[in-house]
Amino acid sequence: MTELFMLIAAKYNYCLYVILMMIGLYAMIAKNNLMKKLVGMNIFQTAIILFYVSIGFKHNATIPIIMGDHGHGGHGAAINAADYMNPLPHVLMLTAIVVSVATLGVAMALCVKVYQRYQTLEEDELRMRLSEKIKL
Amino acid sequence: MIHYPAIVVIAPLVGALIAGILSFVEERYAYPAALIATGISCAAAVRDLIYVAGHGPIAYHMGGWAPPMGIEYRIDTLNAMVLVLITAIAFLNLAASWPNIKQEMPDRSPSFYAMYLLFVVGLTGVASTGDLFNLYVLIEITSLSSYTMIALGDRDRGPISALNYVFVGVIGASFYLLGVGYIYIKTGTLNMAEFATMIPTLQDSTTILTAFILCIVGVFIKMALFPLHVWLPNAYSYAPVGFARIVAPLMTKVMVYVMVRLMITVFGLDYIFIKLHIADTLVWLGTIAILAGGVMALAQTNLKKMLAYIIVCEIGYMVGGAWLGNDLGLTGAVLHILNDGLMTFALFLAVGNMVYKLDRVQIKDLKGLFAKMPWTMTGFVLAAFSIVGVPPTCGFFSKWYLILGAFKAGAWHFAAALIISSLICAVLFFKVFEVCFFESPDTHDGHGSDTHGRHTTVAIQEAPAISLAVLGIAGISLIVVGMYSKTIVVRLIWPLLSS
């Protein structure tokens, strides 16, 4: 049992991102309001961003800026990779954040469109309105 | 250093920028700009294909940065073929859909062209990149531009179906992104070729297994494999015609290409078929997708919806074929990417022409269409024969390879599903032909039409000449690709599989 706790404590970042992701997924599936679904979608994407950011972390490491004598990196001095955090996942997430912002923007614009047309964002009402339209 | 691989992607990107600016300045130049951009892209893709067929794969380093640091575009015969398919359809569709775009959105057409070009950027990028993370970004570019264009379609249903597509599409892309994260944790690389060299030593890693499952599920969602297909029919049938004609043939097929790429290049056939025992399950999934797609298509009363469910059915062909685990099945699946792209393009061109004249394409609205639109219907019949799999058309040959592959693998259920789906498609299309051919068009006065209809000659009301010309090109290409399918298989597909 203690082993299990140790495992979870050592890898708590994975547990956290999975929990966050499931919260987001639950909101996307179970919520009735389109805006709440959007918030769920954003939580879902943010969970993955946190996952990526956390995998760049190293113990006892600093930010990945190499302090050379004249800003050209250490002259011949060996640079130990373990002293610096891995910047690549963070850089990748800059792109992913842009993608998620763009997705959220497009989705919100679509919500506005839907609202202008039907004056509601509740999914069950929308479904009712649409099936009425088919009957007419 | 030849720069054609970059030009294929960059020409539409620059075109999108120009079209976007022109929408504020001088609207009528946006269309020629878009046409020129896709034309350049298409020419570069053809040049790529000729080069690759003669000299072997191209590894293009974006911006001159070599792979572990920079992004690599790797063009081999498979994606050269897919690139030519994408750019040719993008160019031809833009030519054919001009009247439809004018008719459907007279006020918003320049911004439509900008989004259209961004969509082409995404597709060509997905097909040419050799970097796993870059692939994610390009998939999202493709998806984002398609969300906006679907919302431009049907005023009642367009935005809602686009929103549903957003939710499902985000889940799919996020799963893929998560899979890439696990690959990065384990190997520290995002380059497909470099990862492929590491995979033999990582066969037993659970991290790689997790990564594989996440990536492949993400791609399945994006390609609308049967239980994950719910977003597709509404999104495609409520989109504006000019966009439905490009998204229906290309989007799902490019995602199938991504799956094949993940199988062949990234994870490697050894890992997938020998180490993992999931191939049988996936062939079953393909079988179920074929049957379910066919049955749901039978239930539709709207022509566009019916075709959308046929796409779901065809995805089952390609997934099942690719996972049969022998060269014939994989050949059939890859050849079907090309053939299905062309067939679906021809079908949607014909349907677009009908929408242009009739506005609604409920099957019961199509009465007497053979007399009214003879050329459109000729193209439609040709494309339908190809879907059913009638010999000189290309659809027959890929289906033949798939069935041979199924026999070789002993997957009788898959072979049976292929044959049953041919029958279902035959029933579907002959149902449409019957309405179009035998029922007289003029019944809205409701009485006495029986004798009346027989004597009146219906005036021909065809779609614009440019749309018909493109439909003609697409129809002829179905037969030409069918006749040269042996060459395509020997020159383009086998070199890939043998390496």
pLDDT tens per residue across span A16-33: 899 999 999 999 999 999
pLDDT at B135: 93
Q: The complex's ipTM?
A: 0.90
pLDDT at B450: 46
Nearest to A48 among B148, B157, B174 (CB): B174
Q: Which residues contact B438 (CB under 8 A, 6 or more apart)?
A: none
> Higher confidence at residue B442 or residue B59?
B59
Give the rounded percent of residues in chain B with a pLDDT score beyond 70.
96
pLDDT of residue A7 exceeding 90: no
- Residues B151, B157, B160: CA angle, nearest 5 degrees: 65
For residue B238, the Cα-to-chain-centroid distance in whole angstroms is: 17
Highest mean pLDDT among A2-11, B24-33, B214-223 belongs to B214-223
User: Quick one: closest CA in B to A35, which residue?
Assistant: B163
CB B101 within 8 A of CB B45: no
* Spatial distance between the Cα atoms of B114 and B19, rounded to a whole number of angstroms: 5
Q: Is there a domain that residue B370 lies in?
A: yes
> Higher confidence at residue B36 or residue B391?
B36
Q: Does A126 touch chain B (CB under 8 A)?
A: yes
Q: Band the pLDDT of B448: cuts 50, 70, 90.
A: very low
Q: Chain A contacts of B159, Cβ < 8 Å?
A: 110, 113-114, 117
- pLDDT single digits (tens) A74-111: 455 677 777 888 888 888 999 999 999 999 999 999 99
pLDDT of residue A72 exceeding 60: no
CB B418 within 8 A of CB B406: yes
pLDDT at B447: 44
As a whole number of Å, the CA-based R_g of chain A is 23
pLDDT of residue B445 exceeding 60: no
Q: DSSP per residue over B150-212, as a string?
A: HHTS-TTTHHHHHHHHHHHHHHHHHHHHHHHHHHHHHHS--BHHHHHHHGGGGTT-HHHHHHH
Lowest mean pLDDT among A11-15, B168-172, B405-409: A11-15
Q: Which residues contact A90 (CB under 8 A, 6 or more apart)?
A: A52, A53, A56
Q: Band the pLDDT of A2: cuts 50, 70, 90.
A: confident
Q: What's the mean per-residue pLDDT of chain B? A: 87
Q: Band the pLDDT of B268: cuts 50, 70, 90.
A: confident
How many domains are there within chain B?
1
pLDDT of residue B80 exceeding 70: yes
pLDDT at B347: 92
CA-wise closest residue to B105 among B239, B15, B13: B239
Q: Supply the pTM of this predicted model.
A: 0.91
pLDDT at A98: 92
Q: Band the pLDDT of A68: cuts 50, 70, 90.
A: low
Q: Does domain A2-63+79-135 have CATH number 1.25.40.20?
A: no
- The DSSP H or E segment spanning A104 is helix A88-118
**B residues 160-179 near A, CB within 8 Å?**
160, 162-163, 166-167, 170-171, 174, 177-178
pLDDT at B344: 92
Mark residue B2 as left, alpha or beta (left: phi above 0; alpha: psi -120 to 50; beta: remaining): beta
Q: Is there a domain that residue B386 lies in?
A: yes
pLDDT at B38: 93
Q: Is there a domain that residue B311 lies in?
A: yes
Best residue in B132, B134, B155, B170 for a mutation probing chain A (most A CBs within 10 Å): B170
Phi, psi of B123 (to 5 degrees): -65, -45
pLDDT of residue B458 exceeding 80: no
Q: Is there a domain that residue B483 lies in?
A: yes
Structural domain boundaries enclosing B428: 278-499
Nearest to B151 among A28, A52, A113 (CB): A113
Q: What are the sequence ranges of the domains in chain A?
A: 2-63+79-135
Give the A:B interface size as CB pairs under 8 Å: 68
Contacts by residues B479-484 (CB-CB < 8 Å, ≥ 24 positions apart): B479/B382, B479/B392, B479/B393, B479/B394, B481/B338, B481/B339, B481/B342, B481/B394, B482/B339, B482/B386, B482/B391, B482/B392, B482/B393, B482/B394, B482/B395, B482/B396, B482/B397, B483/B392
Contact yes or no for B163 and A107 at CB 8 A: yes
Name residue A62's beta-bridge partners.
Answer: A84
pLDDT of residue A66 exceeding 80: no
**B residues 112-141 near A, CB within 8 Å?**
133, 136-137, 140
Phi, psi of B163 (to 5 degrees): -65, -40
For residue B167, the Cα-to-chain-centroid distance in whole angstroms is: 21
pLDDT at B361: 79
pLDDT at B482: 87
Q: How far is CA B138 from CA B78, B84, B142, in A?
A: 18, 18, 6
3-state helix, strand, coil split of chain A in percent (to 5) is 70, 5, 25
pLDDT of residue A135 exceeding 60: no
- pLDDT single digits (tens) B284-322: 999 999 999 999 999 888 888 999 999 999 999 999 999
Cα separation of the two ends of chain B: 24
CB B105 within 8 A of CB B152: yes
> Higher confidence at residue B358 or residue B350?
B350
